[in-house]
Structure 1
């Protein structure tokens, strides 16, 4: 039971880290996209 609980905690922590990484990546991509659009216009 203890090992299962720690595994669940590690998995949820991993998912949160992945979520933040994806959010950060999307933010950077969107910023670059809008900056590129401004230079074209």
Structure 2
């Protein structure tokens, strides 16, 4: 929820990404706008 407050959105999972423990990772994306109004993805 922290990242969602800053505009990130979940787009997938990486199963077993964190070791030890085989913990899943949440993949998130953020759409940003430049000063000229064009969109950049990061």
TM-score by length of 2: 0.25
Between Structure 1 and Structure 2, the one with more helix by share is 1
For the pair shown, the structure with the greater C-alpha radius of gyration is 1
Larger RCO, structure (CA 8 Å, separation 6 or more): 2
